[in-house]
C-alpha cells in the first residue's frame, strides 16, 4: 500500500481498548486488511505524529447476525492493530 491515508480507517473505542490505553499506552485501530505492520507504524508516525514502539495485528471475523428471518447474515471481517506508543506519548481520543 502506498497511500498512508487509506491504512488507518478508524480508532476503536471500547472497554478493553480504554483499559489497554490506560495500562500500557496502547491504541486500538481498525486498519486496512492488506496493510502490514511496517505500513501501520509508518502511518501512525507520519499522520498522527506519535512515536511507535510496537505493532500487533489480528484479523477479526465478522459476527453472525440474524434479523427476524431464518437466514443469517454476517457483519464484515476487519483487521485490528494494537499500537503501543512510546513513553510520554498520548493520543487524545475524546
pLDDT at 67: 77
What mean pLDDT, rounded, does the chain reach?
A: 91
What domains, with CATH codes, occur in the chain? 4-62+76-85 (3.30.70.330)
Q: Is the pLDDT of residue 68 over 80?
A: no
Long-range contacts at 10-17 (CB < 8 A, ≥ 24 apart): 11/91, 11/93, 12/80, 13/93
What is the average pLDDT across 30-45?
A: 96
Question: Can you tell me the distance from the alpha carbon of 59 to that of 70, in angstroms, rounded to the nearest whole number?
Answer: 28
Q: Is the pLDDT of residue 54 over 90?
A: yes
Segment 4-18, tens digit of pLDDT: 999 999 999 999 999
pLDDT at 59: 97
Amino acid at each position: 500500500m502506498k497511500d498512508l491515508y487509506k491504512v488507518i480507517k478508524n480508532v476503536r473505542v471500547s472497554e478493553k481498548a480504554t483499559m489497554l490505553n490506560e495500562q500500557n499506552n496502547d491504541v486500538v485501530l481498525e486498519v486496512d486488511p492488506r496493510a502490514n505492520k511496517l505500513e501501520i507504524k509508518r502511518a501512525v508516525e507520519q499522520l498522527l505524529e506519535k512515536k511507535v514502539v510496537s505493532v500487533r495485528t489480528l484479523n477479526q471475523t465478522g459476527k453472525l447476525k440474524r434479523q427476524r428471518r431464518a437466514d443469517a447474515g454476517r457483519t464484515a471481517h476487519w483487521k485490528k492493530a494494537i499500537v503501543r506508543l512510546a513513553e510520554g506519548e498520548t493520543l487524545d481520543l475524546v
